[in-house]
Structure 1
Amino acid sequence: MTASPHHTVREDWLALAQEDILAPGQPILDAHHHLWDRPEGRYRAAELMADVRAGHDVRASLYVQCRTGYRTDGPEPLRPVGEVETVLDWTRGQDRFPAGIVAMADLQLGDAVRPVLEALTEAGQGRVKGIRNSTAWHADPAVQSNPAPPPDGLLRSAAFLAGARAVAGAGLCLDVWAYETQLDEVRALARALPDLTVIVDHCGGPLGVGQHDRFDPDNFHDWRAALASVAALPNTRIKIGGFGLRVFGWRYADAALPPKSETLAQDWQPWVETCLDLFSPDRAMFESNFPVDKGQFGYRALWNAFKRLAAPLGQDDKDALFWRSAARTYGIDQQIFAHDNGRIPS
């Protein structure tokens, strides 16, 4: 395993830029975050709730697997069940942070993954909503977003297809983190399994490092065209976020001051507008991807940027992006967002 590819979170640096909350009454479901306790930093329940309580009306969240708290003994396929157990232990006493969990089950097991899915569901006490594997691969070593990059070809393998079919059979959905160069593989997978809801993480991985220049019109066109082929399938969804990932190429962390939401919204607008154009708000959802993205900008600025980008939309579309699409996709109680009783204390 190599060193972390993520920017280091510096709370003192983030504190140098503060801004007022925009649209404070907009309910939010943070559709993608992690929890961990690693040498690179700690982000457990206390750290998550400090961000959630920073002023935006965040009413629930979705935890996504990141190799936290695996079991250290027992059958290898069942060791990821420890992640669900650990997250529920760390967040004991809460029922909305997270309200849902996207867990890990090795889909290379093929149909034999079914007992693992059953064990995850049992351990999750109703909160396991989906599965994700580590699948983001690129031939260029400069394109790396995982400290332990997966091998090439997982999304194309017959075993993965069989495992994903088992995910659909279990009533779960599948998150996929793949780079723009892999979107044809994502499309083929989603097309082969029309009963499986496939959620494409982080805008479909538009790249800005290595051989990829995010400002190159040809690179943007290639990403858009590949993502359009995925969006054409009705069983696909998109998560809008991940702009703090190193592979996207933004270097906010190198500046003396953290970026304000105006800067973030202006920078991200072409990609966000493309995702909305291809998927529509009803099949798109905003995500924080914290603490990964927290090395580049703060929680207040992030959600303010999304609110700036969503400002031209009607309230129904805003609600779809900020909570409804994620709640529908993952089966999270929509009553949390229906009235002021869902607001948590600041």
Structure 2
Amino acid sequence: MSTTASAENSGQEILLPDLPIIDSHFHLFDLPHIRYMLDEYLADAQGGHNVIASVYSETRAFIRTDGPEVMRPLGEVEFANGIAAMTAGGRYGNCKVAAAIVGHADLTHGHAVGELLDKSMAAAPDRYRGIRHVTLDYPDERPFQFIMSGRPPSGVLDNPNFVKGLAELDKRSLIFDAAIYDPSLPAITALADQFPDLQIVLNNMGGLVLVDMTPEEKAAAITRWKGNLTELAKRPNVACKLGGLGMPTWGFDFIQRPDEATYQELAAVWQPFVESVIEIFGVERCMYGSNFPPDKRSSGYVKALNAYKYILRGYSETEQQQLFAGTAKAIYKID
């Protein structure tokens, strides 16, 4: 296996260009303030790395605009399945985009989400794998300054209907993608205990918030994050996505730089966090996810993926294959 190549589209050096990649976490948007659709994603994913498939993660950007509120996320599942069908035959390259689909469901509707789940499974029977309900909660405003839509509702994980909604997922052997900030890690641990057969996938390495903190605050936050992750990882039904480090909530300075960081510079800052997560969860329960386009604020796709490959250069070839494709393939049942 060769170790470097020129990126056909980007002109950038590519580390391990033949290594198969399943991007376990990407989004599409077509909104007034952001457009990132199939053409943009393919330009990134096919910029030199061997991205063979990807997992669509909901954003509610394509939900229906009418009908019962609980059923509106069905529109996004139908949209993502259409994108998947477009790329499945290879006409647009080797990447099977949205080979697995994680839709949205508002779990505070409780048992009523069961109908949505059934119709989503029927709409995308070969690809629908579960849901994500973003539950970003934090005791102050620091992480919310970067969210254009404003601060989301707080206390969602404590809503008594939330576990009723999770029970509907559990009954159907679907996946729950957990998108949180790090103080909510104990709540996810409690849910993993309550639903031991439910596959939970932690997004963005647990959403550690380090922005606008003193060195002492950062040290305390990292210690708390590691401790909570270690406790969560004791639950075998939880896996973790390696990604999200390009978001400004982590407190890195790349979005303020006038020049673009090299992949080595990205790797130097990201490496301790990535290695901590892998050490805690193990290779078999970790998977790479680009989190594009949100992570685009710190780096381009090609460079960011180079950074993760560089971080993991000391792992064996078998371990790299597991981290970059094997875990995602197994958990999201990608053929």
- Which fold has the larger relative contact order, with Cα–Cα distance below 8 Å and residues 6 or more apart in sequence? 1
Alpha-carbon distance, 1:217 to partner: 2.2
Alpha-carbon distance, 1:251 to partner: 2.4
Q: Assess if the C-alpha contact under 8 Å between 1:214 and 1:249 holds in 2.
A: no
Provide the residue aligned with 1:156 in structure 2. 158
Provide the residue aligned with 1:167 in structure 2. 169
The one-letter code sitting in structure 2 at the alignment partner of 1:317 is E
Structure 2 gaps of 5+ residues are 1-9, 89-95
Determine the C-alpha separation between the residues in 2 that align with 1:195 and 1:182: 21
Alpha-carbon distance, 1:22 to partner: 0.5
Does the alignment pair 1:87 with 2:80?
yes
Provide the secondary structure at the position in 2 that maps to 1:94.
helix
Q: Assess if the C-alpha contact under 8 Å between 1:175 and 1:198 holds in 2.
A: yes
Alpha-carbon distance, 1:125 to partner: 3.5
Determine the C-alpha separation between the residues in 2 that align with 1:132 and 1:203: 15
Does the alignment pair 1:109 with 2:114?
no
Report the RMSD for the aligned CA atoms in angstroms.
Answer: 1.7
Determine the C-alpha separation between the residues in 2 that align with 1:213 and 1:18: 38
Alpha-carbon distance, 1:214 to partner: 8.8
Which of 234, 243, 246 matches 2:245?
243
Identity among equivalent pairs (%): 34
Deviations 1:288-321 (A, max 9, x none): 0001111210111111111111111111111110
Which of 248, 271, 280 matches 2:282?
280
Provide the residue aligned with 1:181 in structure 2. 183
Q: Where does 1:118-157 land on structure 2 (aligned, <5 Å)? A: 118-144=118-144, 146=147, 147-157=149-159
Which of 225, 230, 233 matches 2:227?
225
Provide the residue aligned with 1:9 in structure 2. none
Provide the secondary structure at the position in 2 that maps to 1:250.
coil
Q: Assess if the C-alpha contact under 8 Å between 2:212 and 2:251 holds in 1.
A: no
Determine the C-alpha separation between the residues in 1 that align with 2:184 and 2:222: 15
Provide the residue aligned with 1:340 in structure 2. none
Provide the residue aligned with 1:29 in structure 2. 22
Structure 1 gaps of 5+ residues are 1-16, 334-346
Q: Assess if the C-alpha contact under 8 Å between 2:81 and 2:101 holds in 1.
A: no
Provide the secondary structure at the position in 2 that maps to 1:112.
helix
Does the alignment pair 1:77 with 2:70?
yes
Which of 239, 253, 256 matches 1:254?
256
Provide the residue aligned with 2:192 in structure 1. 190
Determine the C-alpha separation between the residues in 1 that align with 2:297 and 2:280: 29
246-255 or 259-268: which moved more?
Answer: 246-255
Q: Assess if the C-alpha contact under 8 Å between 1:212 and 1:219 holds in 2.
A: no
Provide the residue aligned with 1:51 in structure 2. 44
Are the structure 2 counterparts of residues 259 and 48 from structure 1 closer, same or farther at C-alpha, using a change threshold of 3 Å? same
Alpha-carbon distance, 1:41 to partner: 2.1
Count of aligned residue pairs for this structure pair: 317
Determine the C-alpha separation between the residues in 2 that align with 1:199 and 1:140: 25
The one-letter code sitting in structure 2 at the alignment partner of 1:114 is G
Deviations 1:36-81 (A, max 9, x none): 1112221111111111110000000001000121111111111111
Alignment TM-score, normalising by the size of structure 2: 0.90
Q: Where does 1:308-323 land on structure 2 (aligned, <5 Å)? A: 308-323=310-325
Q: Assess if the C-alpha contact under 8 Å between 1:32 and 1:62 holds in 2.
A: yes
Q: Where does 1:329-344 land on structure 2 (aligned, <5 Å)? A: 329-333=331-335
Alpha-carbon distance, 1:253 to partner: 2.1
Determine the C-alpha separation between the residues in 1 that align with 2:155 and 2:231: 19
Q: Assess if the C-alpha contact under 8 Å between 2:14 and 2:48 holds in 1.
A: yes
Alpha-carbon distance, 1:18 to partner: 5.6
Determine the C-alpha separation between the residues in 1 that align with 2:85 and 2:13: 31
Provide the secondary structure at the position in 1 that maps to 2:86.
coil
Determine the C-alpha separation between the residues in 1 that align with 2:193 and 2:121: 26
Determine the C-alpha separation between the residues in 2 that align with 1:213 and 1:33: 32
Alpha-carbon distance, 1:210 to partner: 4.1
Does the alignment pair 1:201 with 2:207?
no
Query: Which has a greater percent of strand?
Result: 2
Which of 291, 302, 306 matches 1:304?
306
48-57 or 150-159: which moved more?
Answer: 150-159
Alignment TM-score, normalising by the size of structure 1: 0.88
Deviations 1:76-100 (A, max 9, x none): 1111111112223345421220101
Alpha-carbon distance, 1:215 to partner: 7.7
